[in-house]
Structure 1
Amino acid sequence: MGVQIVINGENPCETSSKLEKMKKRLNVYVEKMKIFPGLAWKTIWNVGREDPRRVIHSIKVGLSLTLVSLLYLLEPLFEGIGQSSIWAVMTVVVVLEFTAGATLCKGLNRGFGTLLAGLLAFFIEYIATTSGQIFKAIFIGTAVFLIGMSATYVRFFPYIKKNYDYGVVIFLLTFNLITVSSFRVDNVLKIAHERFYTIAIGCGICLLMSLLIFPNWSGEELHNSTVFKLEGLAKSIQACVNGYFTEEEPQTSNEESLEDPIYKGYKAVLDSKSTDETLAMYASWEPRHSRYCYRFPWQQYVKLGAVLRHFGYTVVALHGCLKTEIQTPRSVRALFKDPCTRVAREVSKALMELADSVKKRRQCSPEVLSDHLHQALQDLDTAIRSQPRLFLGPNTNNNTNNMLALAAAQARQKSGKELGVSSLLTTVKTDSSALLEWRSKRVSEQAKENDRKVLRPTLSKIAITSLEFSEALPFAAFASLLVEIVARLDLVIEEVEELGTLAHFKEFDPGDEVKIDVNCEKMKGDQNAKSLENHLPSHGAAE
């Protein structure tokens, strides 16, 4: 045996290994610090390139904070307003949002909440000052309790929660500050005036920056996101069908699937519920800035978004057919390639026409569902009917008998286990020595069960293969989803037509139909997902 030398209770080999690990960690940290400036600059550049409005908004916030800081920095302004000028800075930080609608909502809520709280606080103070000091304290405490309880309960009303929750919070804060301060401070009216003036100045600067200097309208954001979702669904469907009938087997990992343009197309639709509702609520606060001064039905955009999400669920299922474990042979798929491709092309063409009509604010074409789509559906139905043996399987009777035999064997095995358990229980009651034998048998059975669980995925595939299902069965699911997409397309068209009617879109111009056909022909030539990614429009996420 070797002799180990121990110095100060530590082995020199262990000490050297620890030093090596520390050196490796230090080298890793050094490498990260070297590449950190480049990564930081790349992130900053990408955020601004994705949506240049973010840079403009940041500049507007910085300029607004500089303007309100002058109330505190310039001596004449500070003497007129005093310490309350800091409330203007806080107002700009809280109120100035990315879109004009969000700024209007918060600014007006803050202004009206402060005004109502001040008026009510003065009324409470007027009543309290006519009585003694003890009664004044009791009256103020009672008023704070009742107003605080009532205002908090009102916040649970759905309409108040959605539109005026921030204003109620500011009302509570201002009312308590003024009412409680009036018990110790003599000139509380001056404090309230200074705070109201500074909040008004801060809100005024925020509204000026949001409405007049490069405004970002919530309504336009919602409008553009609707167009983006329609285009994304159209491209996802076209790419799904092209990928399903491609001759090469795609090999993608989990990381690559997240960058899949098909996934990107419908992901924006599935994740849009909260964003659409928020943008619609903020858009209802915005002034009518269009040249026709029509009041846009923003809630109709929300309804259209809900229909598009239900439409997107079918696209998700269609995309899942490309990644299932059991696939129809490509030689069988080729029999139905032409009608399926034409159905997908016509659906994509209809969605692109709807997106173009919403984008240009015009009525959609009366023939958005052309006869080509109906003809493609008829051809698909004829192609499926012409191949009945593919969907019934070569040995239908044998498959049925195999399935019945398998079910009978499982039933016999289950009844045998139940009889074995009952006999064991009887033996246990009469003979204590059988208990040990039963326990040992139980342990061995558990070990076998654990091995069986490990092999279960493989055995399940073997069992499925042994049943000799029809080779075209997975394609039947794909075709049914494609027909379901056509059925749900009618609901999307109805909502877009309703939107055009309520929003007073202009009448359809037949000359625009030529441009739509050209765009669809470009999409027809995209045979793989990589080329589709270049056609995706740049879109800034709603803040």
Structure 2
Amino acid sequence: MDIDESAVRKSGGIFGRRWWCLKALPGRFIDNMVEFAHKVEKLGKDDPRRITHSIKVGLTLSLVSLLYYCRPIYGGFGSSTMSAILTVVVVFEFSVGATLGKGFNRALATFLAGALGFGAHHLATLAGDKGHPAILWFFIFLLAAVASFVRFFPGIKARYDYGVLMFILTFCLVSVSGYQEDEILELAHKRVSTIAIGCLTCVIMSIFVFPVWAGHDLHKLIARNIEKEADFLQGFGELYFGTKGDTDISWLHGYRSVLNSKTAEEAMANFARWEPPHGKFRFGHPWKQYLKISAMTRQCAYRLEALSRSITSEMKEPSEFKMIITLSCMEISVELGKALQEISSAIKNMTYPFTVSTHIVNAKTAAEDLHRALEAITLDNTNILEDVMPAASVTSLLLEIIECTKNIAESVKVLACLAKFKGADLAILPEKQTRRLLRSGNIKPHHAENDSTHALIIEYAPSAMVE
């Protein structure tokens, strides 16, 4: 049938081809609509909060638009309502932190720029009609140049870049409008008022109507990234050393999202600083510590990427060298996976990771066993390039991941103490007691001769121990 249609299309020339294209338009339109509906459905199922956010934006714009029809005794805002509508469009973001950050930037920038614009107009008026344009030109040039240069500072760029842009825009608008109109003060008052109303409406709607907290999303993202690395390590040993078939290797590429999450994590941390206390996240929550954990998690993910290449590149029978190191390497991989799983669970539940040290110690013990096995091995009649080097590379990467896991665990313990996770007090208490005894002189550090080890000698003192 397709051959006949193509033959008829060719025989009909250009008019035949156009006819067939026109005839196929309804079918293509229906297919495109069905595909679009599937995309919309998938987008909503991936994160239902997107639907509620869209509804909140529409509702907020509808409420702010009523200002145009509000006519009190002293007069309404009239066309200045457009400033409030534009404020809602540009300020209302997906998360509470992003909305608060943009709202604060826009409100503060508008207030400062409006005041400075009125002051510049007043000084220009004192210079007379001839000096008026020159004075305004000078102030616009000076403030625009200084504000543009300030945007290059990393701290300003990260948190106040939008506010600086609004400052430049509002100052120029008020100054130039003041040069053309006599009602400069009324213009500045209406602009500041409408923008303040728009920002306040966005903030109220964002916080009290199905709020989306950037801090909570960052918290879950860090835990999820560590969990993906744990899944990789727990399945890597059995897959690489051939003790399990590759029936389900969906975990094999999960770590890749960790490599590309830096921008999202930094944005979430920046937005989270603007958010008020909510849930278990108190005021002054250590959001910067999350970025330190994410940086160490990415360092671990780079090594997992190298391990992943070894799985795809080596698909042959295991060599004698590989069989010797199998048990130790598998134990290292499994213990590191358990440690990362424990860390991820501790972050999710906001508890102190007490048992993670046990898994790291087990991994180090397996590494020592591996070291002893390597010392006893003989490489006679062994192809070093093909048999030894790939397995040795995997062994080296696993040893590096031990240190990465240790660093992640230490950073999470610091986070638990700073954020006061459940059980963190029990971990801090022994350290505080030790420091107190050191200050009182009841604990004396002892250095053994010709040895780098340290010991603490506790001298019994009832007065010091009773509290």
Q: 1:116 to 1:341 in 2, by over 3 A?
A: same
Q: Please give the residue correspondences for 1:308-327 in structure 2 after superposition, counting only pairs within 5 Å.
A: 308-324=297-313, 327=315
Structure 2 residue aligned with 1:503: 419
Inter-CA distance 129–316: structure 2 relative to 1 (3 Å threshold): same
For the residue of structure 1 that corresponds to 2:284, the secondary structure is coil
Of structures 1 and 2, the one with the larger relative CO (CA 8 A, separation 6+) is 1
Alpha-carbon deviations, 1:447-479, whole Å to 9, x = none? xxxxxxxxxxxxxxxxxxxxx844233222122
Contact 1:247 1:330 in 2 (8 A): no
Whether the 8 Å contact between 2:110 and 2:167 is mirrored in structure 1 is yes
CA distance in 2, matches of 1:241, 1:20: 62
Does residue 136 in structure 1 map to residue 124 in structure 2?
no
Match 1:115 to one of 90, 111, 117: 111
Q: Which has the larger radius of gyration?
A: 1
Distance, in Å, in 2 between the alignment partners of 1:60 and 1:13 is 52
Q: State the match for 2:187 in structure 1.
A: 191
- SS of match in other structure, 1:182: helix
| CA shift in 2, pair 1:66/1:260, >3 Å | same
Partner of 2:366: 376
1:64-88, Cα deviation, whole Å (9 max, x unpaired): 0111111224565995111010111
Question: Is 1:285 the equivalent of 2:274?
Answer: yes
SS in 2 for 1:40: helix
> 1-side partners of 2:281 and 2:247: how far apart?
53
Letter of the structure 2 residue corresponding to residue 223 of structure 1: H
Is the contact between residue 280 and residue 302 of structure 1 (CA under 8 Å) also seen in structure 2?
yes
Matched, 1:227 2:223: yes
User: Counterpart of 1:262?
Assistant: 252
Task: Name the CA distance, whole Å, in 1 between partners of 2:55 and 2:9.
Answer: 59
CA drift of 1:226 comes to 0.7
Whether the 8 Å CA contact 1:362–1:505 is kept in 2: the answer is: yes
- Aligned partners of 1:101 and 1:282 also within 8 Å: yes
Contact 1:154–1:160 (Cα < 8 Å) also in 2? yes
1:218 CA drift (Å): 1.4
**Alpha-carbon spacing, 1:175–1:356, altered in 2? closer, same or farther (3 Å):** same
2:318 aligned residue: 330
Cα distance in structure 1, aligned partners of 2:348 and 2:309: 30
CA shift in 2, pair 1:51/1:110, >3 Å: same
> 1:393 and 1:68, CA in 2 relative to 1: closer, same or farther beyond 3 A?
farther
Q: Per the alignment, in what secondary structure is the counterpart of residue 216 of structure 1? A: coil
Letter in 2 for 1:496: V
Q: Is the 8 A contact 2:68 2:76 kept in 1?
A: no
1:425 aligned residue: none
Q: Which moved more, 1:94-103 or 1:134-143?
A: 134-143
Q: 1:156 to 1:378 in 2, by over 3 A?
A: closer
74-83 or 187-196, which moves further after superposition? 74-83
2:67–2:76: 8 Å Cα contact kept in structure 1? no
Structure 1 residues 134 and 508: alpha-carbon distance in aligned structure 2, compared to 1, 3 A threshold: closer
CA contact (8 A) 2:356 2:409 kept: no
Q: Which residue of 1 is the match for residue 430 of structure 2?
A: none
1:415-445 deviations in whole A, cap 9, x for unaligned? xxxxxxxxxxxxxxxxxxxxxxxxxxxxxxx
Uncovered stretches (5+) of structure 2, i.e. residues with no partner = 1-7, 427-467
Q: Which residue of 2 aligns with 1:361?
A: 350
C-alpha separation between the residues in 2 aligned to 1:91 and 1:51? 26
Cα offset for 1:22? Answer: 5.7
Q: TM-score, normalised by structure 1?
A: 0.70
Alignment of 1:56-455 (within 5 A): 56-73=52-69, 80-246=76-242, 260-263=250-253, 265-290=254-279, 293-324=282-313, 327=315, 329-330=317-318, 332=320, 333-365=322-354, 368-370=357-359, 371-385=361-375, 387-389=377-379, 393-394=381-382
Asked if the contact 1:328/1:474 (under 8 Å) is kept, the reply is: no
Amino acid at match of 2:117: A
Q: CA RMSD in A?
A: 3.0
Q: Deviations over 1:152-199 (max 9, x none)?
A: 112122222122111111111111111111112111211211111111
SS at the partner of 1:262?
Answer: helix
**C-alpha distance after superposition, 1:281-328 (max 9, x if no partner):** 11111222346844111111111111111111000000110112x555
Q: Residues 345-395 of structure 1, C-alpha deviation per residue, up to 9 Å, x if partnerless?
A: 110110011111111222211552334323433443455455423xx544x
8 A contact 1:224–1:359 mirrored in 2: yes
Question: Contact 1:233 / 1:312 at 8 angstroms: preserved in 2?
Answer: yes
Q: Which residue of structure 2 lines up, in the alignment, with residue 473 of structure 1?
A: 389
8 Å CA contact 1:303, 1:495 repeated in 2? yes
**What SS class does the counterpart of residue 90 from structure 2 fall into?**
helix
- Out of 489, 493, 496, the residue aligned to residue 409 of structure 2 is 493
In 1: Cα distance, 2:10 partner to 2:17 partner: 11
- Kept in 1, the 8 Å contact 2:118–2:184? The answer is no
Distance verdict in 2 for CA 1:368–1:13, change over 3 Å: closer
- Match in the other structure for 2:447: none
Are the counterparts in 2 of residues 353 and 368 from structure 1 also a CA contact under 8 Å?
Answer: no
TM-score by length of 2: 0.81
Contact 2:105 2:163 in 1 (8 A): yes
- The 8 Å contact of residues 319 and 387 in structure 2, kept in 1 or not, is answered as no
- Tell me the amino acid that sits aligned with residue 416 of structure 2: G
1:242 CA displacement: 2.7
TM-aligned CA distance change 1:13 to 1:493, over 3 Å: closer
After superposition, the Cα gap between the structure-2 partners of 1:469 and 1:141, relative to the gap in structure 1 and judged at 3 Å, is closer
Range with bigger deviation, 339-348 or 295-304: 339-348
CA distance in 2, matches of 1:154, 1:127: 25
CA contact (8 A) 1:84 1:198 kept: yes
Q: Which runs of 5+ in 1 are unaligned?
A: 1-11, 253-258, 397-467, 511-543
Alpha-carbon distance, 1:505 to partner = 2.0
Between stretches 209-218 and 380-389, larger displacement belongs to 380-389
Deviates more, 1:341-350 or 1:97-106: 341-350
Amino acid at match of 1:486: I
